[in-house]
């Protein structure tokens, strides 16, 4: 049973929009693409884990805090006998583990050692359980999900599941009987209640309203080569299409994400979209989907 679903983080959503509307530096793009790839891997694992049938609680994307230190868990699986902390990695290519180093063989580029990160996360989680006066067996595992990933120097005792082992790993969990009680339910509820909504690890560049490109772009490929055809925005690059109302609402959501302190008005969204539509069209869409406040000349929507 999934108690907390996985969603795209605010950081990922902001970087996705900024990459399209403003452009990112090489370093910022590298971080953004890693987030996209990481989320893609987590969703892929979620689809595979849907096959689990015994009684279990699945809690995705937990950000917890213990002793003023934050730690993240991609997937927390609460079973009868054990709590599994699963760290999903979507690395691609030939990697090598050499003592404390974890690096891409082809380029030598070094990454944070996932085993070290995992051990620290597991230790912090156990500390949290101790603070809650709870006693559960905890097992932490790294799931390498990408079929194009190879790891050299991996040891048998490493807490690692390689791509060709994921199905067997999930089957072994599924084949283990699990019956949950009120204690497991209370634990799951406590973990969810302790989730931190503000992530101190986010890396979003500073930006100003004036820097952002105001325009409609394709929701599928992010191309600005869109044209209005029979009440649809049609992409000249990928052929994707979207209704005028859906496109406006998508841009309103993006505006709220990037500038939560600014009011939503007809004029603001008209300028934000910068497309050949009348203000009356924007007013109609906003009135239909939001609640209007204020006088006609100074109204805004929430």
| Contact between 16 and 24 (Cβ < 8 Å) | no
177 within domain boundaries: yes
pLDDT at 294 over 90: no
pLDDT at 106 over 80: yes
207 within domain boundaries: no
pTM for the model stands at: 0.91
Take residue 128 and report the two structure tokens written for it.
Answer: 């949290």
In terms of residue numbers, what domain contains 141?
A: 2-193
Position 100 scores a pLDDT of: 86
Q: Are residues 250 and 180 in the same domain?
A: no
Q: What is the arithmetic mean of pLDDT over 181-196?
A: 96
- Where residue 54 falls among pLDDT bands split at 50, 70, 90? confident
Position 122 scores a pLDDT of: 97
Q: What is the arithmetic mean of pLDDT over 10-39?
A: 96
**Sign for the pseudo-dihedral over CA of 214, 219, 222, 227:** negative
pLDDT at 161 over 90: yes
Q: Are residues 64 and 144 in the same domain?
A: yes
Q: Are residues 234 and 163 in the same domain?
A: no
47 within domain boundaries: yes
Position 295 scores a pLDDT of: 76
pLDDT at 34 over 90: yes
Domain total of the chain: 2
What's the mean per-residue pLDDT of the chain? 95
Three-state secondary structure readout of 57-124? EEEEEEEEEECCEEEEEEEEEECCCEEEEEEEECCCEEEEEECCEEEECCCCCEECCHHHHHHHHHHH
**DSSP summary character for residue 296:** G
| Percent of the chain whose predicted confidence (pLDDT) is above 90 | 93
Q: Are residues 24 and 109 in the same domain?
A: yes
208 within domain boundaries: no
Q: Are residues 106 and 242 in the same domain?
A: no
Take residue 287 and report the two structure tokens written for it.
Answer: 């009135």
Write the pLDDT tens digit of every residue in 121-137.
999 999 999 999 999 99
205 within domain boundaries: no
Q: Are residues 176 and 283 in the same domain?
A: no
Q: What is the arithmetic mean of pLDDT over 61-87?
A: 96
d(CA 38, CA 227): 33
| Contact between 116 and 158 (Cβ < 8 Å) | no
- Where residue 30 falls among pLDDT bands split at 50, 70, 90? very high
Q: What is the arithmetic mean of pLDDT over 150-166?
A: 95
pLDDT at 45 over 90: yes
Distance in angstroms between the alpha carbons of the first and the last residue of the chain: 34
Position 199 scores a pLDDT of: 87
- Of 126, 159, 193, which closes a domain? 193
Position 53 scores a pLDDT of: 84
Q: Are residues 185 and 233 in the same domain?
A: no
201 within domain boundaries: no
Q: Are residues 262 and 145 in the same domain?
A: no
202 within domain boundaries: no
Q: Are residues 67 and 169 in the same domain?
A: yes
- Of 131, 163, 193, which closes a domain? 193
Write the pLDDT tens digit of every residue in 221-256.
999 999 999 889 999 999 999 999 999 999 999 999
Q: Are residues 236 and 285 in the same domain?
A: yes
**Sign for the pseudo-dihedral over CA of 34, 262, 6, 186:** positive
d(CA 298, CA 138): 56
Give me the DSSP letters along 13-54: HHHHHHHHHT---HHHHHHHHHHHHHHHHHHHHHHHHTT--S
H/E element, 232 = strand 232-235
d(CA 215, CA 225): 10
159 within domain boundaries: yes
Position 286 scores a pLDDT of: 96
Q: Are residues 164 and 288 in the same domain?
A: no
Position 98 scores a pLDDT of: 92
Q: Are residues 65 and 113 in the same domain?
A: yes
């Amino acid at each position: 049973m999934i108690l907390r679903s996985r969603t795209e983080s605010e950081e990922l959503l902001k970087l996705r929009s900024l990459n399209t509307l403003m452009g990112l530096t090489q370093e910022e793009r590298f971080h953004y693409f890693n987030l996209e790839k990481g989320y893609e891997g987590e969703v892929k694992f979620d689809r595979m884990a849907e096959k689990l049938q015994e009684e279990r609680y699945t809690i995705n994307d937990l950000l917890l805090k213990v002793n003023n230190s934050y730690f993240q868990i991609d997937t927390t699986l609460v079973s009868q006998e054990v709590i599994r902390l699963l760290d999903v990695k979507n690395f691609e290519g030939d990697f090598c583990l050499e003592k404390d180093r974890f690096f891409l063989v082809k380029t030598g580029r070094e990454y944070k050692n996932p085993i070290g990160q995992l051990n620290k996360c597991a230790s912090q989680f156990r500390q949290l359980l101790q603070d809650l006066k709870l006693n559960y067996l905890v097992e932490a595992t790294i799931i390498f999900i990408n079929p194009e990933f190879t790891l050299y120097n991996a040891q048998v005792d490493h807490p690692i599941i390689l791509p060709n082992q994921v199905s067997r790993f999930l089957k072994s969990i599924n084949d283990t009987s699990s019956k949950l009680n009120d204690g497991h339910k209370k634990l799951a509820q406590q973990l969810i209640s302790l989730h931190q909504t503000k992530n101190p690890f986010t890396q979003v560049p500073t930006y100003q309203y004036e820097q952002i490109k105001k325009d409609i772009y394709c929701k599928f490929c992010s191309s600005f080569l869109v044209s209005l055809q029979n009440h649809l925005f049609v992409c000249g690059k990928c052929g994707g299409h979207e209704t005028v109302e859906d496109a406006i609402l998508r841009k309103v959501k993006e505006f709220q994400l990037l500038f939560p302190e600014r009011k939503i008005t007809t004029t603001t969204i008209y300028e934000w979209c910068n497309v050949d539509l009348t203000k009356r069209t924007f007013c109609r869409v906003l009135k239909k989907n939001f609640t209007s406040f204020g006088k006609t000349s100074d109204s805004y929507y929430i």
